[in-house]
Structure 1
Amino acid sequence: MEKSSIMNQVIILFLIVGVGYYSRKRNIINDEINKGLTKLLLEVTMPLMIVASFDYSFSKELMKNIIYMLLYSSLIHGALILISRILYNKYSKEKKDILRFATVFSNCGFMGFPVVGSIFGKIGILYASIFNIPYNILSWTFGIMLYTENKDSKNLKKVLLNPGIIAVIIGIILFIFSIKIPQTIYSTIKLVGDITTPLSMIIVGVMIAEVDFKKIFKKSSLYYIAFVRLILVPILTFAILKIIRVEELLIDVAIVIEAMPAAAVTAIFAEAYSKEPELASEIVFFTTFLSVVSIPVIFKILNIS
């Protein structure tokens, strides 16, 4: 993939963040509107995007790789959850939880899928969607618990019944049984779900409007999480999958996904649950900013093309 194509994906996201930034500075989006947009994102557009992402048909020939990709994704995310426990011990509990979330969850939906598609085409999107299953389940269970464990997150039933995890369950059923949603309904679901990407970046822009840029580049914690998220995680992913001798295409798809910056929902969840929203938005901004350079570098180092 050409560097310009990768940079274009990142630049587009930054321009959308700029829309949110401008809207907040001009008070077009105030605190009340932002809370409403966040609620719309978490309870409507993102769940619909998840459901739409499972609309893939697969042949029997692909079944083996599909099962393997599901297992590989579970292994990688499990390893990241464990490793993230020891990477941030010097930080406070509140900050550590945000840093752990940013380490485990990449911006695979908003950036990963377009990049995977541009490199590997339809087959890449298929494998990426399978890789995303554990991601979705864990982000709406383990991820939510990181943000809410000091409140009422111990009520596991409540966590599992949130719109995101319900969408994952619906998507898995549709995927496993190859149930095709009527085209009119699917088009509606996809159209609303597609709002998630620009909406999430606008919300991040609104959050960034409150950031002191003179301070953001002086924070050592941001450089540390950027190194972990953008360099260490994809290299670790490569090493794990190489050791167990995974097929080259599956390795490449996994690396592309894990080379993405911190997930936009790092900041979205932080805003929704009022837990270090400034730090979370800074992490999303900073890792996305640096990914313009880091993604082509990682692809070059690991020979992805």
Structure 2
Amino acid sequence: MKNNIINQVIILSLIMIVGVYARKKDILSKEASKSFSNFLTNVTLPCLLISSFNYSYSQDMIEKARIMFAYSIIIHIVLILVSRVLTFKYPENSKKVLRFATIFSNCGFMGYPVLESLFGKIGIFYGAIFNIPFNIFMFSIGIMIYTGKKDLKTLKEVLVNSAIIATILGLIIFSFSIKLPYPLFTAMSIVGSMTTPLSMIIVGAMLSEIRVKDIFSGTLVYYVSFLRLIAVPFLTLGILKLLNADKLLMQIAVIIEAMPAAVLASVLAEKYGADTALASRSVFISTIISMITIPFIVMFL
């Protein structure tokens, strides 16, 4: 198991390096990287999610899905409250980035590939359930952290985002034991299987945009990396231990929370005038360090 985890992380890291190389050499342009990102979120990821629900109906799985949904709500509420305490002494612009990066992990671009590599389709199944509250919190509370005000329009938009729609469709397919025609299911599975390599290439391309100079200076990026990669996973583990959680659900939830800072942290920082440099560096540093911490967290579990 230990060697399998290390091998999977090495494989994902090597694919990410391909993205760095392709972007540095301009084989993959900035515009192409954005297009691939849109293609992933709107096509390959929904296909992966829908195909991951291709199980015979099981009351046990439905019950566990409900429990996972509740776990996600509890964990994110705790993180929202705890992040306020852990970042209160920092300047407002920095505090916004620190709170967002602490609460929200890169569960899309990196979470799903890691879950699939460790647990297969069942990992995607429960991961998709966990990420429904995650997305709602990120595009409501997350944006409120940056703006200091409510943004109901954005919340309405996230409720019709492709990942959530795909998850709902998958749940319908699962709940009613709908069998997709073989050619359709196979095509969807093949397209969905592109998500893992494509996501790591995109992450690599994003990281290549950050200037090496001054990336590693200062202490804040290491503080937020510690919170995101070590403190949050172990806090999640503690919460789920107290709730006497199912072992598989606990492992999946902790691994999702062991992912680096969400790429959206830097996008929103730029949009709402927060510390963009800190946000970009936090995403970069936490992603690099996660190559070491993710195997550690998984082996600990």
- TM bucket normalised to smaller: 0.7 to 0.9
Q: 1:154 to 1:249 in 2, by over 3 A?
A: closer
What TM-score, normalized to structure 2? 0.78
Identity %: 46
The answer to whether the aligner puts 1:256 opposite 2:255 as a matched pair is: yes
Q: 1:196 to 1:32 in 2, by over 3 A?
A: same
Instruction: Report the 3-state secondary structure (helix = DSSP H, G, I; strand = E; otherwise coil) of the residue aligned with 1:215.
Output: coil
Q: 1:85 to 1:171 in 2, by over 3 A?
A: farther
What is the CA-CA distance between 1:217 and the residue it aligns to?
Answer: 1.9
Instruction: Report the 3-state secondary structure (helix = DSSP H, G, I; strand = E; otherwise coil) of the residue aligned with 1:8.
Output: helix
Distance 1:170 1:92 in 2: 43
Structure-2 residue corresponding to 1:182: 181
Instruction: Report the 3-state secondary structure (helix = DSSP H, G, I; strand = E; otherwise coil) of the residue aligned with 1:213.
Output: coil
Q: Deviations over 1:76-99 (max 9, x none)?
A: 122223323443345565654444
What is the CA-CA distance between 1:186 and the residue it aligns to?
Answer: 2.4
What TM-score, normalized to structure 1? 0.77
Instruction: Report the 3-state secondary structure (helix = DSSP H, G, I; strand = E; otherwise coil) of the residue aligned with 1:172.
Output: helix
8 Å CA contact retained: 1:211, 1:278 = no
Unmatched 5+ residue regions in structure 2?
Answer: none
Aligned residue runs from structure 1 range 82-101, under 5 A? 82-91=81-90, 95-101=94-100
Unmatched 5+ residue regions in structure 1?
Answer: none
Q: Which AA in structure 1 matches 2:5? A: I
Aligned residue runs from structure 1 range 1-305, under 5 A? 1-2=1-2, 4-91=3-90, 95-108=94-107, 111-112=110-111, 126-139=125-138, 141-142=139-140, 145=143, 153-155=151-153, 156-263=155-262, 279-299=278-298, 303-304=300-301
Distance 1:55 1:147 in 2: 37
8 Å CA contact retained: 2:97, 2:269 = no
What is the CA-CA distance between 1:21 and the residue it aligns to?
Answer: 1.8
Q: 1:67 to 1:206 in 2, by over 3 A?
A: closer
* Root mean square deviation, CA, Å: 3.6
Distance 1:298 1:81 in 2: 22
Q: 1:66 to 1:294 in 2, by over 3 A?
A: same
8 Å CA contact retained: 1:97, 1:146 = no
The size of the alignment, in residue pairs, is 299
Q: Which AA in structure 2 matches 1:142? A: S
Task: Point out the more displaced range, 161-170 or 67-76.
Answer: 161-170
